[in-house]
Structure 1
Amino acid sequence: MRVTKEPEVRKQEILDTALKLFGENGYEKTSISDIAKAIGIAQGLCYRYFPSKEALFDSAIEQYADVLLEQFAGIEKNKYKTLRQVIEGMPATVEERDKKYYSVFHGEENKKFHDQLSLKVCEKLVPLVEELLLCARQKGEIQFDDIQTAAVFCVYGQLGILLSDDLTEEDKSKRIREFLIFALRL
């Protein structure tokens, strides 16, 4: 018996199933056919929503990056805090190990996926950081004019530390906070 679902519901079902299988079997060993079979739909239906396995995975990265960005954006809404207070209170990461896609992006065999996700999150974070820096400049906390370059540096400059396997989350956070406070002269 054919089950009809709303397009967005079906698309999300395909995406969720694909990521579950990517996490269990690896990206290379998972086919569109495997995904369709796991859901109980025709392979062509997957292609209706995603023209390729790569497009499906790109959508997953985009979606998970949006989830992480929402968590970062929700951390700092208090306009009365100084930039230094914001930096001192920021976490190195907002990811939780039990979240929906965590294992896909953090498995040993999925380092490439994690790196792609990290770059996508950085891309999405830059405008948020620009806004924080503009606000800090308006309050006289920072004195430089090139806010865009500062935002890009603040965001992408953290990747080397965040992607390091040699440091604990606490050490990563401490190093990043200390450097940002130094670099921004706060």
Structure 2
Amino acid sequence: MPRITKEPAERRQEIIDTAMRLFYEKGYERTSITDIAREMGVAQGLCYRYFASKESIFDTALEQYADMQVAQLSRGMLDSGCSLKQMIAEMPTFLDVETDDNFYYKFCHEAGGIKTHQQLSMKICEKMMPIVAQMLERAVERGEIGPCDTRTAASFCVYGQLGILLDRTVDGEERVRRIKTFLLGMLDIAK
């Protein structure tokens, strides 16, 4: 069989995608670098050329998935001429951007994956913080909200949602309604 040469970025992504599928199918603990290489039909050393360990593959995959989620959640936020009140009313939520049609979603959200889901949630929050802080700074400049410590307010806006988002005793749309109502009230823009 002829050797298949791929661009480094393509090969690296193939390793990540294969690993995530196997993490979902077999479980993270039961998946090894050997399993990943075997599934890809390549030598184990090829995987090690791109990643030092299985943990490194997992961390990279989680980082990529968080980046994808943040891109969808923040689409148009900083480019918009909308008021802060309008942005909150129209902001996309996890209900809007997460789909269960890929192994990243399935692995991060499976019943036993609470630890992984929490890691993902924290990465997303970390990446959303500067975006939300910048939105709040603009709102202060426009006089939409009073002067405030925008970094602290952004922290509450971003990290404060986690408790509500993770509460599975409340319907998803009700969780979103509660979050939006709280943000409008907290920022004193419910008028």
TM-score, normalised on structure 1? 0.95
SS in structure 1 of the partner of residue 81 of structure 2: coil
Shift of 1:76: 2.9
Contact 2:125 2:158 in 1 (8 A): yes
1:107 aligns with 2:110: yes
Correspondence list, 1:66-105, <5 A: 66-76=67-77, 79-93=80-94, 94-99=97-102, 101-105=104-108
Q: Report how far residue 75 of structure 1 moved.
A: 4.5
Q: Is the 8 A contact 1:161 1:172 kept in 2?
A: yes
Matches within 5 A, 1:157-168: 157-168=160-171
Match of 1:140 in 2: 143
Could you tell me which runs of 5 or more consecutive residues in structure 2 were left unpaired when the two chains were aligned: none
Give the Cα separation in 1 of the matches to 2:171 and 2:79: 28
State the 1:48 CA deviation: 1.1
Moved more, 61-70 or 100-109: 100-109
Q: Which letter maps to 2:178?
A: R
For residue 130 of structure 2, the aligned residue among 114, 127, 131 is 127
Preserved CA contact (<8 Å) 1:137 1:143: yes
CA distance in 2, matches of 1:100, 1:77: 30
**Partners in 1 of 2:5 and 2:79 — Cα distance?**
45
| TM-aligned CA deviation for residue 169 of structure 1 | 1.4
Task: Name the structure 2 match of 1:174.
Answer: 177
How many Å separate the matches in 1 of 2:133 and 2:142? 14
Summarize deviations over 1:125-152 as a string: whole Å, max 9, x none: 0111011101111110111331111111
Contact 1:92 1:172 in 2 (8 A): no
C-alpha separation in 2, matches of 1:53 and 1:177: 39
Distance (Å, rounded) in 2 between the aligned partners of 1:88 and 1:55: 38
Cα offsets for 1:28-50 (capped at 9, x unmatched): 11111100000001111111111
Q: How much does 1:92 deviate? A: 2.6
Identity of aligned residues (%): 51
Unaligned runs of 5+ in 1: none
Tell me the C-alpha RMSD between the 2 structures: 1.3
Q: Which residue number corresponds to residue 31 of structure 1?
A: 32
* AA partner of residue 145 (structure 1): C
Residues 132, 154 of structure 2: 8 Å contact kept = yes
**In 2, Cα distance between equivalents of 1:19 and 1:99:** 9
Establish whether residue 117 from structure 1 lines up as the match of residue 117 from structure 2.
Answer: no
Work out the CA distance in 2 between the residues paired with 1:182 and 1:37.
54
Post-superposition Cα deviations, 1:74-132, rounded to whole Å, max 9, x if no partner, equal 15355332111111112331212224521011111212111110000000001110111
Q: Does 1:4 align with 2:9?
A: no
2:155 corresponds to which letter in structure 1? V
What's the CA shift for 1:2?
A: 2.2
Write the letter of the residue equivalent to 1:172. Answer: R
What letter corresponds to residue 47 of structure 2 in structure 1? C
Aligned pairs for 1:15-26 within 5 A: 15-26=16-27
